[in-house]
Structure 1
Amino acid sequence: MIKALVFDFDGLIFDTETQEYKAMVELFEEYGAELPLEVWGKCIGTHASFFDPFAYLEEQIGQTVNREELRSRKSERVNELLKEEKALPGVEDYLKAAREAGLKIGLASSSHYDWVSRHLNFLGIAEYFECIKTADDVENVKPDPALYLKAAECLGVSPEEALAFEDSANGALAAKRAGMYCVVIPNSVTKDLVFDEVDHRMETMAELELHLLIEKVQKQGE
């Protein structure tokens, strides 16, 4: 029986991933280079060190770049783009429905706590989360299951009693490795990634009420 929900953050609650990719593409274009989505997809849902876009840029143009300057410019551009963003469709409805149903609510993100908490407060939904686990809490981020295992422990449930929501292949793999149910809701950047076995896939959280989704997932798992 599902007793808890554990949400990813980037690309699932707040579409930071589309904006980050857009900002990186703009930088590459300044050098006459391209950053294919299938290449960028390697680092989605995991630690940035998994793929270094600036090293990739240097390979493309055959020269070194000022990485610190580009990182700073990218961050500024991402923050500028995110000012116009809101929580993705259905997110707040799911949080409200979960609270009304007495489900525990957690979050597991490969990003750092200051990034996640700042945006949760910006969106006005931080109060819903009883437990937030981030890259600051584990040695290895997704696709390692540690974040999800720690979130379950923090919420006082077994992984088998939790339903994870993910948008990335790395995140979905982490949730399933932890032993959780997993529903994927890819965004425009992750929709073409290859997802291993998951319990359900949706376009947005707005397409199915939470209680119906839980019934569907639990029935499939019987």
Structure 2
Amino acid sequence: MSTIKALIFDFDGTILDTETAWYEAFREIALEHDIELTLDMYGQCIGTSLHVFDPYDYLIMDKQVPMDRETLSKHVHARHTKMMAQEGIRPGILDYLAGAQELGLRIGLASSSKRAWIDNYLAQLGIAHYFETIRTAEDVELVKPHPALYELALQDLGVQPHEAVAIEDSPNGARAAAAAGMHYIVVPNPVTTFLTFDGEPHRLESLAELSLQDMLNRVLTAPDTRANSTKND
């Protein structure tokens, strides 16, 4: 049986739920202009860049909201900041970080966001010291669902894909982990819980509902559905 040697966390929506606030900010502005921004539509850009669906272009270009991109961005960011003032680290994250450290697991972070965004929140949460490597949008040409972010983090930590578990909240993030050949679990937030995930991933409503050791045991004893598992093992 393989041994798990590392955990690699997504950030937005997984460690801190920044994603629900983004969706609510865009949705509120859309509603003020009698536009329905559905979760199915917005969900395309969660966990990745805006190349598949750009809510700014959708509202300004497609729906003719009378704002330029800079003005709309200011409104969205102001609402997001206000909502995030009430948001704390997601349940179970601190226990998993401390537990991984106690078990001697390597710990990394792989995010489609920019480094300054990540560093700012990690400092606020006081958890930056847990991560041996942090890979962000500036490090790759293609963000999630492309596997490059996870591949770099695996290289940094010196572990093989089958020796690591990714912790994700979005379908795009889960696809990236699968494409990298990793084990992964999904812990959806209030927005991503309604999105469709590929296959039948290990899924928890919160990391607080299952101890780190129990999660590792579950991952190792369940049928292996990782992409390229034969190649990597």
Indicate conservation of the 8 Å contact 2:183/2:219, yes or no: yes
- 2:216 paired residue among 214, 217, 220: 214
- 2:156 paired residue among 146, 154, 157: 154
> Take 2:56 and 2:216, find their aligned partners in 1: how far apart are those partners?
41
Alignment of 1:105-144 (within 5 A): 105-144=107-146
Indicate conservation of the 8 Å contact 1:199/1:220, yes or no: no
Structure 1 unpaired stretches of 5+:
none
Alignment of 1:28-67 (within 5 A): 28-58=30-60, 61-62=63-64, 65-67=67-69
> Take 1:26 and 1:15, find their aligned partners in 2: how far apart are those partners?
18
Q: For residue 90 of structure 1, what is the aligned residue in structure 2?
A: 92
Indicate conservation of the 8 Å contact 1:5/1:104, yes or no: yes
Indicate conservation of the 8 Å contact 1:184/1:198, yes or no: no
Indicate conservation of the 8 Å contact 1:4/1:104, yes or no: yes
Indicate conservation of the 8 Å contact 1:182/1:200, yes or no: yes
Structure 2 unpaired stretches of 5+:
225-233
> Take 1:16 and 1:167, find their aligned partners in 2: how far apart are those partners?
11
> Take 1:87 and 1:18, find their aligned partners in 2: how far apart are those partners?
13
> Take 1:4 and 1:170, find their aligned partners in 2: how far apart are those partners?
21
User: Which residue identity does 1:14 align to in structure 2?
Assistant: L
Q: Aligned pair count? A: 222
> Take 2:63 and 2:179, find their aligned partners in 1: how far apart are those partners?
39
- Residue 221 of structure 1 deviates from its aligned partner by 4.5
> Take 1:90 and 1:97, find their aligned partners in 2: how far apart are those partners?
10
Q: 1:58 to 1:105 in 2, by over 3 A?
A: same
> Take 2:216 and 2:22, find their aligned partners in 1: how far apart are those partners?
31
What per-residue deviation string (whole Å, max 9, x for no partner) do you get for residues 185-211 of structure 1?
111111121111354100000000000
Q: Once the two structures are aligned, what percentage of the paired residues are identical?
A: 49
> Take 2:199 and 2:8, find their aligned partners in 1: how far apart are those partners?
18
What per-residue deviation string (whole Å, max 9, x for no partner) do you get for residues 11-67 of structure 1?
000000001111111211221211111100010110023211122224564465311
**TM-score, normalisation: structure 2:** 0.91
User: 4+ runs of 1 displaced by more than 2 Å?
Assistant: 58-65
> Take 1:197 and 1:63, find their aligned partners in 2: how far apart are those partners?
38
- 1:78 paired residue among 77, 80, 86: 80
Indicate conservation of the 8 Å contact 1:143/1:173, yes or no: yes
What per-residue deviation string (whole Å, max 9, x for no partner) do you get for residues 106-149 of structure 1?
00000000001100111111111110000010000000000000
Q: 1:76 to 1:128 in 2, by over 3 A?
A: same
What per-residue deviation string (whole Å, max 9, x for no partner) do you get for residues 43-92 of structure 1?
01100232111222245644653111111221122122112211001000
Task: Give the match's secondary structure for 1:164.
Answer: strand
Q: 1:198 to 1:147 in 2, by over 3 A?
A: farther
